Amino acid sequence: MQHVLACRHINPAARPDVSKTALVANTSRHTFDLICDTAAQEIGTTPSRHLLRASDFLAAVQFMVGAGFHPRAGRTTVQLAEAFAERMANSRDGHFPFKAEATARELGLKRRAVLNHARYLRELGLIAYVEHGSKKNVLRTRYGAAWTSEHGYRGTATLFAAVAPRMWDDAMGHRIEGEGYTARMVGVTDGGRELAVAAAVKRQRERLSDEQMEPVDNSGSCTPSVVVPQPRTSGAVDGGMKDRTRKHTCSENARKHRAKGSTGWSAARTAAAMREAQWVQLHTWWAQEACVRQLGFALRPFFDAGWTQEEIARELARWTVPLRPRHVASYIASEIRRRVNSGTLFMPDGLVAPYRQPEASTWDDGSTRHGSRYAAMQVQKAATYRPAAARAVTALQEVRALLASRVKLQVSPWGKRPVPGARPENVLLTSEEFATLLETTHPVVACETLWVQAEKVAEHRIEAESRLDSWEYWPPAPPEPR
């Protein structure tokens, strides 16, 4: 059995500073057995109770280590416990992962030292196993026969739970109900209440002493005692409110604060909106599985506009939804916004946020802030369509060369022009070049004349086909009389 008086051989310099606990002096009345059996270090078998707060875990560690219940525990043990306490906030149950290599790099220790001090915490009943880590590749187990080397390797980390031994609870005056990991604190004794009050007073004194240590700002022009006191008045000052001598205290001039995420609706108004949303939900077939709270939030533009529940249900029935939406509230909110911005649903201004419109460009290069963007767009367009632009310039040069030589251009019966690049997009031709091009080509036929020619050709073709295909039946002649 490990007794506190038997641990006096421990070097006091190797112990942590436990002056904040003020409980070490009373441990001579208690005894503690180290939990050296690994089977008793699991959450299902540990005699210690579960802790959720990191502050309680650190207090228990400082008490148990400072009391000298373990001959090898010291400052490094407390340092490892502080690293564990920082990880407790990431879990709802107060569990934290443990990997020896990563923890050693974090604390600047050897891997063996980290493993040893974690064992000291387990033997003191301060941490218990939730899950044992493994070097086995869990990805191979997950993918099975489909696993390849590209999936890689991933092991599992050890999970610990922060616990407190019964020794600490008794010293702190906690009243515990139950045994082991599921035990809970249900109150405190008279001695525990005195210890809690003393600890609170000490923390308050330390906080006040820290505030007094801060430097005083004397950058003002004069001390407060030189400031002339303002006369008290009972009349209205600036805002029509009585007994207000300072302008910044007027509630009318003060900016109303709204908490982040709030919508400005009271609890009673939200409850009324949920009741109306439930009525709408029962009368709309595709919204009957939606959350009433989310549905009431999505229908707030209708409620702000003064619509009744019958009008809202009639409007939703006009939407002709063919299938049940996956998320009804999101669909209703987006559909209201789309219909208001498209003009098919009329709502008061300011209830629905408009879509963001792109900023109009002035199509210049430097006189406004849109010029650099337009210039960059032109550079990108030239880089993208440079091959096509080069071909167009080459074709334009060929056309000008042919027009300069005054070559008589003949148009083939198929309508194919022999001049390459003679297309309407070649707008860089001058007026003289266009006149020359019109002289060497056939005139453009008007629409009415073109249709008349097409009808004549069609009539001629139909008449020729009917002449070749038509025939008359001539019965055989009767025999001549003898």
Residue in the structure block whose two tokens are 């009318």: 252
Q: Residue 128 gets which letter from DSSP?
A: E
Q: Residue 412 gets which letter from DSSP?
A: -
Non-local CB neighbours of 348 within 8 Å, separated by 6+ positions: 304, 305
Report residue 354 as tokens: 């408009």
pLDDT at 460: 81
The 3-state DSSP class for residue 433 equals helix
| CA separation for the pair 287, 432 (Å, rounded) | 71
Report residue 252 as tokens: 């009318």
State if pTM tops 0.75: no
Residue in the structure block whose two tokens are 């998320």: 327
CB 99 within 8 A of CB 38: no
pLDDT at 112: 93
For residue 141, how many other CB atoms are within 10 A of its CB?
A: 9
pLDDT at 161: 92
Q: Residue 177 gets which letter from DSSP?
A: E
Intra-chain end-to-end CA distance of the chain, in Å: 157
| CA separation for the pair 247, 250 (Å, rounded) | 6
The 3-state DSSP class for residue 357 equals coil
| CA separation for the pair 76, 91 (Å, rounded) | 24
**Which residue from 102, 99, 98 is spatially nearest to 162, judged by alpha carbons?**
98
Contacts made by residues 10-17, CB under 8 angstroms, sequence distance 24+: 10/68, 10/71, 14/74, 14/75, 15/65, 15/66, 15/68, 15/74, 15/75, 16/62, 16/65, 16/66, 16/74, 16/75, 16/77, 16/78
pLDDT at 428: 62
| CA separation for the pair 350, 346 (Å, rounded) | 12
CB 354 within 8 A of CB 345: no
pLDDT at 366: 52
CB 93 within 8 A of CB 161: yes
| CA separation for the pair 185, 49 (Å, rounded) | 9
Percent helix, strand, coil in the chain, to 5, is 50, 5, 45
438 φ/ψ angles, rounded to the nearest 5 degrees = -70, -35
| CA separation for the pair 189, 76 (Å, rounded) | 33
| CA separation for the pair 158, 268 (Å, rounded) | 49
Residue by residue, what is the 3-state secondary structure of 73-113? Answer: CCHHHHHHHHHHHHHHHHCCCCEEEECHHHHHHHHCCCHHH
CB 101 within 8 A of CB 16: no
**Which residue from 186, 179, 184 is spatially nearest to 44, judged by alpha carbons?**
179
462-to-448, 450, 452 alpha-carbon distances in Å: 21, 18, 15
Report residue 346 as tokens: 């009329």
CA atoms within 13 A on the CB side of 367: 4
Report residue 340 as tokens: 């208001």
CB 230 within 8 A of CB 245: yes
**Which residue from 274, 336, 335, 269 is spatially nearest to 309, judged by alpha carbons?**
274
The 3-state DSSP class for residue 343 equals coil
Segments of the chain scoring below 50 in pLDDT:
1-29, 222-223, 226, 235-241, 243-249, 251, 362-365, 409-418, 421
Q: Residue 129 gets which letter from DSSP?
A: E
pLDDT at 7: 41
**Which residue from 371, 339, 366, 369 is spatially nearest to 354, judged by alpha carbons?**
339
For residue 147, how many other CB atoms are within 10 A of its CB?
A: 14
Report residue 39 as tokens: 């089977």
Q: What size, in residues, is the chain?
A: 482
Beta strands in 298-342 (DSSP E): none
441: exposed, middle or buried (Cβ count in 10 Å: 0-12, 13-18, 19+): middle
